[in-house]
């Protein structure tokens, strides 16, 4: 069924020509969520025991994984993964929570809302510690790492599900925990002398403490700060905006390569500079420019806005595969991008197309390849072209659902359509919510339904663009 999309996009010989810039409709992305992604995540074995304790590993048919009788694909898992099959990862539990939040956000599905709430409740009850740290990995019900051994990336992604749930519901108790974890991260990990967040505060298999990691900074922005900062009351908003600005400075001043528009993924050790080194791919660079651009627009930092757009344009041009089937590459002259890199590049290009129409040419080529390569016929997504594990300790559909949400909102604007989103809050409150990382000139909210005491509202948006400083 997914192959039909290729004819819809009118791609000639796999390449987008100057007059051939049609992209899928907004409805196509809703159809993808409802029919291609949601069934894998609404599978009974995805719910966890208790509900909300979402499993890190499942089989490719959606069924539960058991070590006593493993399915073929997990029994044949790569050697680096096998020692971890008995562990549960909070970052994945939070990413799964995000998945359910986006399914509800786009479709109004109350089962997805129930699962999003269950995921938030489980994390807050069983994994969030009093001082503000969050258990990152459990094995046999016990935390594998002490508070000081947990990475800042894992702590950032522990915020992901709560952040999206707060955006959807305005739940003040959830906001209080978001604030507590964020304060803990910046209090315990910020290195004032080096002007960056540390990776870990004590040595373990997670790291030695000497690491200088791009994602320690970057993932604070994309996992929760960019979405939540505009929604905060004072004095929290000013503090978060200030810390957001500090992270932008760290990323652009400490990780930007001096000879091109790419970012180093790390800055420690003797071998971080080659293209093949950790996180030096186009996916991390595109995400860095995308986040710095959107955050700079929100903060009103026009010099960084210009620099980020220039860097993003150069990145997209370098990563785009002009010939053959097209799509995105992960490294210069390298292999095609894997699922999450592809999603980040698409999201950056779609956002840029809102202000630079020429960027739409990328989407006319890359969107068909997304459906062709990554969407599984039986639901969910593959990490590489039509193969691989659909879910594991680093793979969920967080990227696929964010990709669908961004594509839906931007495609609606680019195709001259309106967009519709659902919130679990009264209509008068929902009317104040802007769509994800963007803003709309006009919106109309109306009461839609109720669920367990929560009002569900539908908001229609028109004239969607980049969120800018007020």
pLDDT of residue 20: 55
| pTM across the whole model | 0.95
Residue with tokens 């080529």: 365
Structural contact between residues 220 and 185, judged by C-beta atoms closer than 8 angstroms: yes
> What pLDDT does residue 18 have?
39
- Per residue of the chain (470 residues), give pLDDT as tens: 443 443 334 333 334 343 458 999 999 999 999 999 999 999 999 999 999 999 999 999 999 999 899 999 999 999 999 999 999 999 999 999 999 999 999 999 999 999 999 999 999 999 999 999 999 999 999 999 999 999 999 999 999 999 999 999 999 999 999 999 999 999 999 999 999 999 999 999 999 999 999 999 999 999 999 999 999 999 999 999 999 999 999 999 999 998 889 999 999 998 999 898 999 999 999 999 999 999 999 999 999 999 999 999 999 999 999 887 789 999 998 899 999 999 999 999 999 999 999 999 999 999 999 999 999 999 999 999 999 999 999 999 999 999 999 999 999 999 999 999 999 999 999 999 999 999 999 999 999 999 999 999 999 999 999 999 87
Alpha helices in 267-354 (DSSP H): 282-299, 302-319, 339-353
From-to residues of CATH 1.50.10.10 in the chain: 43-255
With vertex at residue 114, the alpha carbon angle to CA 112 and CA 117, rounded to the nearest 5 degrees, is 110
Q: How far apart are CA 200 and CA 463, in angstroms?
A: 43
Residues in a beta bridge with 263: 256
As beta bridge partners, residue 137 has 89
Alpha carbon separation from 324 to 15, 321, 369 (Å, rounded) = 8, 8, 11
In the chain, what is the straight-line distance between the N-terminal and C-terminal CA atoms, in Å?
A: 45
In order of 9, 262, 292, 312, 324, the CA distances from 355 in angstroms are 22, 22, 16, 13, 28
Tell me the CA distances in angstroms from 123 to 52, 58, 98, 176, one per residue in order.
8, 20, 13, 14
Dihedral pair phi/psi, residue 275, rounded to 5° = -55, -35
In contact, 251 and 214? CB cutoff 8 Å: yes
Place of tokens 């315990």: 188
Q: What angle do CA 406, 411, 415 make, to 5 degrees?
A: 165
* 43-255: CATH class: mainly alpha
pLDDT of residue 17: 42
Beta strands 419-423; 454-466: pairing state = antiparallel
Task: State residue 456's pLDDT score.
Answer: 98
Q: What pLDDT sits at residue 258?
A: 83
Are 130 and 177 in contact, with CB atoms under 8 Å apart? Answer: no
């Amino acid at each position: 069924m997914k192959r039909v999309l290729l004819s819809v996009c009118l791609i000639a010989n796999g390449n987008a020509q100057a007059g051939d810039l049609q992209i899928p409709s907004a409805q196509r992305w809703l159809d993808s969520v409802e029919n291609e992604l949601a069934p894998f995540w609404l599978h009974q074995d995805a719910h966890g025991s208790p509900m909300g304790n979402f499993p890190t590993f499942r089989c490719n048919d959606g069924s539960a994984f058991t070590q006593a009788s493993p399915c073929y694909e997990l029994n044949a898992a790569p050697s680096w993964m096998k020692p971890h099959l008995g562990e549960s990862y909070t970052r994945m539990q939070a990413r799964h929570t995000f998945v359910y939040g986006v399914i509800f956000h786009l479709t109004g599905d109350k089962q997805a809302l129930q699962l999003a709430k269950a995921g938030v409740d489980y994390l807050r009850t069983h994994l969030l510690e009093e001082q503000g740290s969050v258990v990152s990995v459990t094995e046999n019900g016990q935390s594998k790492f002490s508070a000081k051994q947990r990475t800042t990336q894992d702590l950032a992604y522990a915020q992901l599900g709560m952040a999206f749930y707060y955006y959807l519901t305005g739940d003040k108790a959830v906001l209080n925990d978001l604030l507590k974890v964020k304060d803990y991260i910046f209090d315990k990990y910020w290195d004032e002398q080096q002007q960056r967040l540390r990776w870990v505060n004590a040595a373990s298999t997670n790291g030695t403490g000497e690491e200088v990691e791009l994602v320690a900074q970057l993932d604070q922005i994309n996992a929760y700060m960019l979405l939540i900062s505009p929604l905060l009351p004072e004095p929290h908003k000013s503090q978060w905006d200030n810390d957001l600005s500090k992270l932008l400075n760290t990323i652009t001043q400490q990780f930007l390569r001096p000879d091109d528009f790419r970012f180093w993924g790390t800055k420690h050790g003797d071998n971080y500079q080659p293209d093949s080194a950790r996180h030096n791919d186009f996916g991390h660079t595109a995400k860095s420019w995308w986040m710095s651009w959107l955050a700079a627009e929100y903060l009103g930092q026009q010099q960084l806005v210009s620099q980020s757009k220039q860097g993003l344009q150069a990145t997209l041009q370098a990563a785009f595969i002009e010939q053959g089937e097209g799509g995105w590459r992960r490294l210069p002259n390298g292999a095609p991008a894997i699922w999450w890199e592809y999603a980040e590049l698409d999201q950056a290009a779609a956002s840029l197309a809102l202000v630079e129409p020429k960027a739409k040419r990328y989407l006319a080529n890359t969107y068909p390849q997304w459906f062709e390569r990554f969407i599984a016929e039986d639901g969910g997504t593959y990490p590489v072209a039509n193969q691989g594990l659909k879910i594991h300790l680093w793979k969920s559909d967080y990227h696929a659902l964010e990709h669908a949400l961004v594509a839906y909102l931007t495609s609606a604007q680019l195709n001259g359509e309106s967009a519709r989103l659902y919130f679990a809050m009264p209509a008068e409150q929902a009317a104040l919510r802007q769509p994800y990382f963007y803003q709309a000139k006009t919106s109309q909210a109306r009461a839609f339904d109720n669920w367990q005491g929560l009002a569900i509202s539908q908001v229609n948006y028109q004239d969607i663009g980049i969120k800018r400083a007020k």
